[in-house]
Structure 1
Amino acid sequence: MLRMLILYTALAAGANMAMAGEVDLDAARAGGIELAAGDGKPVSDTPYTDPDGGEHRLSDHQGKALLLNFWATWCAPCREEMPALNALEKQFGGEDFAVLTIAAGRNPPKAIDKFYAEAELDALPILLDSRQALARDFGVVALPATILIDAEGNEVARMMGPAEWDSETAQAIVTQLTAP
């Protein structure tokens, strides 16, 4: 309990001291979210789609910090972390922040719909990168993969593998990412 109190205090202090879009990677790792520093460069603007074929780009979210997550219906760790991502979007999604979950590769629409219904995912959009063009631009080689993007459209941090996105650590990360 004392360890959690110390960790939460450190994360909160880091959130208050951080510049806009900066994330305390050491505190995140201490809290169990194994983030690595991003390259700080503008992210790809390769299009991805929705189930109706509508084209979208990350630049559509300019001015908003993003947690971009690549996943697949066949990926067990992806499926396990999706409810936590849904909870994070419910808690923080809005004018300053969004969780974008993009199904990379072959993911049959019926399988996605079935999974969303079973997992009660009601806050996450269904987005597709069927040809994995956007995932390739980010160098994604394994799923799940998460990229944190600041409001200016630059990569702040990234992580390969699942995380507890509904944890206090994740909440502190989003607070830091969206700090004015």
Structure 2
Amino acid sequence: MQKTRSPVIIAAALMLVLVGGYFLCDALTARQPAADGAAQTEAVTPIPYAEGAGFTVDALPDFAYTGSDGAAARLYDHLGTPIVLHFWNGGDEAVLEELRALESAYGQYGEDVLFLTVHTRAAAQTAQEARALFAREQLRLPLSFDEDGSALALCGAAQAPATYFIDEEGFIAARSEGGIGEDALLFGLSLLSAGAARTPGADATAAPQAQP
């Protein structure tokens, strides 16, 4: 005679399966990495404002670069306008993703913020090749050139990519060394906007001055 399993035993077995599945799912969820946006914003370092002052302590030095029209220009020519300064070189997918993120931010903020997308020359990529990449990707970003890498060195970055968010007075509101995505760019722009709204205190560090 064939024995039948007790309904109580079957119900208990089902309960064990359900409970085990719940804890397994919870453990797997705990191992998931942070959301991309959170990870990217952590890559941007806000520069604290000096106590009692409206400016950050850090200011980028003035430097020369070549504009997209081939004319010589200097960073301090643009004092009075917030700036997103991005040094780059290369053409791999990571670089392209950064440039596309900058293009997107430029489309949103380009009327109020100056975007300086500076190609710092590398042996593997000439200025002509950088122009060709911009044309191929249909990027509208203003393309500038740091032909000998001196501007990148003056800014204190070990290598490209490096991004600086510079307020209207020429002081750094935030910076990022390494790859940067759209979420991080928007985060940096939000810090730049917040910093630009501050009023310098009586003991504020003197702002940089444009060279005549």
Q: TM-score, normalised by structure 1?
A: 0.72
Please state if 1:58 is matched with 2:67. Answer: no
- Long gaps (5+) in structure 2: 1-36, 48-55, 198-212
Q: 1:110 aligns with which of 121, 125, 128?
A: 128
The whole-number CA distance in structure 1 between the counterparts of 2:94 and 2:71 is 28
The whole-number CA distance in structure 1 between the counterparts of 2:66 and 2:185 is 27
| 1:93 to partner: Cα distance | 1.0
Greater relative CO, 1 or 2 (CA 8 Å, sep 6+): 1
Sequence identity (%): 28
Deviations 1:70-99 (A, max 9, x none): 0013565323210110111111012x3122
**Secondary structure of the residue that 2:40 maps to in structure 1?**
coil
| 1:173 to partner: Cα distance | 3.3
Matches within 5 A, 1:1-180: 30=38, 32-33=40-41, 34-38=43-47, 40-74=57-91, 76-94=93-111, 96-106=112-122, 107-122=125-140, 124-165=141-182, 167=183, 170-179=185-194, 180=197
| 1:145 to partner: Cα distance | 0.7
The whole-number CA distance in structure 1 between the counterparts of 2:38 and 2:57 is 22
**Secondary structure of the residue that 2:168 maps to in structure 1?**
coil
The whole-number CA distance in structure 1 between the counterparts of 2:171 and 2:160 is 21
The whole-number CA distance in structure 1 between the counterparts of 2:92 and 2:174 is 22
- Long gaps (5+) in structure 1: 1-28
User: Is contact 1:88-1:99 (8 Å) kept?
Assistant: no
Which entry has the higher C-alpha Rg, 1 or 2? Answer: 2
The whole-number CA distance in structure 2 between the counterparts of 1:80 and 1:102 is 16
Q: TM-score, normalised by structure 2?
A: 0.62
The whole-number CA distance in structure 1 between the counterparts of 2:100 and 2:149 is 23
Q: 1:53 to 1:114 in 2, by over 3 A?
A: closer
User: Is contact 1:75-1:143 (8 Å) kept?
Assistant: no
The whole-number CA distance in structure 1 between the counterparts of 2:64 and 2:40 is 32
* Structure 2 residue identity aligned to 1:121: L
